[in-house]
Structure 1
């Protein structure tokens, strides 16, 4: 498993480079590394770990199959009528195919997606994302490997935070700015998890060097927290500050409940209070738009208006996974400065490409994942900070999906997948092998 761990750490180390260097070569390495890691895991996973891995991921694999099946259905050919070109045999086909069918003597085979190639690429990216979660879960079942992955994740987010802060400070115009600050938000929670790791290891590993290790680990965690938090504050965006703040409060609440032994009633009281405060803040932060997919966007009016028009025309079943870029030439103004060449939020893009039902299904799935991780944290003694950090990061990512489009980047999905896999792997007690 040592080589599989190296592959996983290699994926994490790619993230800062991907954000700092433009191009498509580095992101294309991700599926290759994921496939290599899964092959190594399948060969080297110990029988006991394999059984635990199967128990942990069984429900996840079933849930992950639903979007995969839907993307495949979006690519299926749906024939149009030859005798009546403007009448569609299948009501599932995208309306665009009926408008072009008249130009073909023998008719055309339509589909839900308007760009089968882009949807096929999106399908490969989705499989890579699922594969990363499975790889991270298998590798981090072992406690020592879990520690290495947590530290590597924190280091990667700190480096990304420095890149984002330097870009804003020197006016470099980082193309992946939103994604970089989203990663820095995760770094706030991961650095807090590292602090919890250092504190717990000091309690359980009494030795002559424990004090020196504790001081170094605590100082490193504090520095990491300050760097990530300062980068987000420097972005001068209330929404970007709100998302990781919610995750951090959730993480601290879980640790507080366990440390003070508050029980279910104490946890419920903290949860209700935090929910009321969060709802009040969200209500106050919402803009004029009644659409939650756009209500928290703080971007130029042209970009928001561009996304609004595409949303208004999007069919109930979506335009096809990955097909947003194919729609842009139709809706963009001839003025090159009129709006960004992407959706303003990940929620809006997912709704356009996969359909509104799939958006809210994704929100439901994220909520269930959050609750599963919180339950794992409450049932654990030592190492409860792993699932607690995973739940806090899921909450942060869920909020960020309604703030910007960073979730559709190349680096953030890698970090998100590894964090969730780490939290899932450590949501049950360790077994000695």
Structure 2
């Protein structure tokens, strides 16, 4: 299990660093590392580890395979009547059997399937290897550090463009949002440890690191990102504060429920206001402004999308059909738009269902966990941020962001049921 733990850390750091640096094979390397960590964890897991995994994923293990199954179905020959209209048009012109894979590019969809399996593998490996609190703390430190570095790069790019000329803005914005929640959790960790008579000097050092990371991340997400991304991060912070207030004040179930409902109603009002600020398809109302020609092409593309989409990972390939300029590339304005165009209504519904189920599971796990509640609380906040951010930007399409979020969720699930001193 120690080897799987080491490989897990390597996957977090390497995937993020390589993608920020613009290395093309970062996603493939991260996928191979995820497969290696899964093999190592499977070969060393005992019955106690398996029981822990079953308890941690009792919220619905079946939903973990929903998205990979949706992607795999796109590789299987199906009646073209249920596929994207472009395939039916091609059949009318070229003839042939009225069957074929839904995807526009088998290679790209296969890559998307492998990435989805890698994300699920890392989630499962994380659940197994961070049962021990000390290991969970180190993973939290690694995640918060990686995200804070990404946020710092975005800050430097905005403040000193001559020093940092080019950065993947969408990825660094997403990691900055995740980093804000994770570093707030580090601050809570330091406070909890100081209260339980741990070394005050060590707790202060940990808290200071968390504070610096939180400030760097907050500057990136609130100062140098879009308004909707900042609101998504604010939702995550409010969720962490809500959990902290319920725990610290030891509210009764009735009072906690009333406070949670009030927060939910407030979030619904804010989201409704944001969506009503602009017109057009719902999936495009939170994305940044774009040219009229690009917007029209995206609207045509979304209008043609059916239940099964046009193939996971093929947004740019299909977009060429709708882009009037042959030399231009139609990029996805948000992760939700890309999921809908690639996987249709079924894929989008599966994504939202997975996010909401994980959010509810982590929220209640945080309320029941005790002094280690910051692990599931931070994971719940990251899931909420990711869900809203998926409608505001394309950062969550990046393999590094997907894999980091998988590890964060695995960390939260594992520590929502862990016992002190478990091995």
For normalisation by structure 2, the TM-score amounts to 0.92
Q: 2:214 aligns with which of 225, 229, 238?
A: 225
Partner of 2:5: 5
Please state if 1:318 is matched with 2:322: no
> What CA distance in whole angstroms lies between the structure 1 residues aligned with 2:166 and 2:284?
23
Q: 2:406 aligns with which of 417, 422, 425?
A: 417
> What CA distance in whole angstroms lies between the structure 2 residues aligned with 1:136 and 1:350?
25
Query: What is the CA-CA distance between 1:397 and the residue it aligns to?
Result: 0.4
SS in 1 for 2:391: coil
Unaligned runs of 5+ in 2: none
Partner of 1:163: 153
Summarize the alignment of residues 246-257 of structure 1 with structure 2, pairs less than 5 Å apart.
246-257=235-246
Q: 2:278 aligns with which of 288, 295, 316?
A: 288
Structure 1 contact 92–111 (Cα < 8 Å) conserved:
no
> What CA distance in whole angstroms lies between the structure 1 residues aligned with 2:197 and 2:403?
32
Q: 2:353 aligns with which of 355, 360, 364?
A: 364
Partner of 2:143: 153
Structure 1 contact 343–349 (Cα < 8 Å) conserved:
yes
> What CA distance in whole angstroms lies between the structure 2 residues aligned with 1:117 and 1:140?
34
> What CA distance in whole angstroms lies between the structure 1 residues aligned with 2:55 and 2:209?
35
Query: RMSD value over aligned CA atoms?
Result: 2.2
What CA deviation, in whole Å up to 9, does each residue of 1:386-430 have, x standing for no partner?
Answer: 111111111100000110111111211111001000001011141
Query: What is the CA-CA distance between 1:103 and the residue it aligns to?
Result: 6.2
Change (3 A) 1:255 1:58: closer
> What CA distance in whole angstroms lies between the structure 1 residues aligned with 2:148 and 2:167?
18
Q: 2:377 aligns with which of 357, 374, 388?
A: 388
Which of the pair has more CA radius of gyration? 1
Partner of 1:275: 264
Change (3 A) 1:174 1:306: farther
> What CA distance in whole angstroms lies between the structure 1 residues aligned with 2:395 and 2:67?
20
Structure 1 contact 15–156 (Cα < 8 Å) conserved:
no
Query: What is the CA-CA distance between 1:95 and the residue it aligns to?
Result: 3.4
> What CA distance in whole angstroms lies between the structure 2 residues aligned with 1:335 and 1:272?
50
Query: What is the CA-CA distance between 1:343 and the residue it aligns to?
Result: 1.0
Change (3 A) 1:331 1:63: same
SS in 1 for 2:399: coil
Change (3 A) 1:155 1:53: same
> What CA distance in whole angstroms lies between the structure 1 residues aligned with 2:102 and 2:95?
22
Summarize the alignment of residues 397-416 of structure 1 with structure 2, pairs less than 5 Å apart.
397-416=386-405
What CA deviation, in whole Å up to 9, does each residue of 1:42-80 have, x standing for no partner?
Answer: 1222431222113323554311222222222211123xx
Q: 2:102 aligns with which of 112, 115, 120?
A: 112
Structure 2 contact 377–412 (Cα < 8 Å) conserved:
yes
Partner of 2:332: 343
Change (3 A) 1:16 1:107: closer
> What CA distance in whole angstroms lies between the structure 1 residues aligned with 2:203 and 2:64?
40
Summarize the alignment of residues 61-76 of structure 1 with structure 2, pairs less than 5 Å apart.
61-76=61-76
Structure 2 contact 376–413 (Cα < 8 Å) conserved:
yes
Query: What is the CA-CA distance between 1:109 and the residue it aligns to?
Result: 4.3
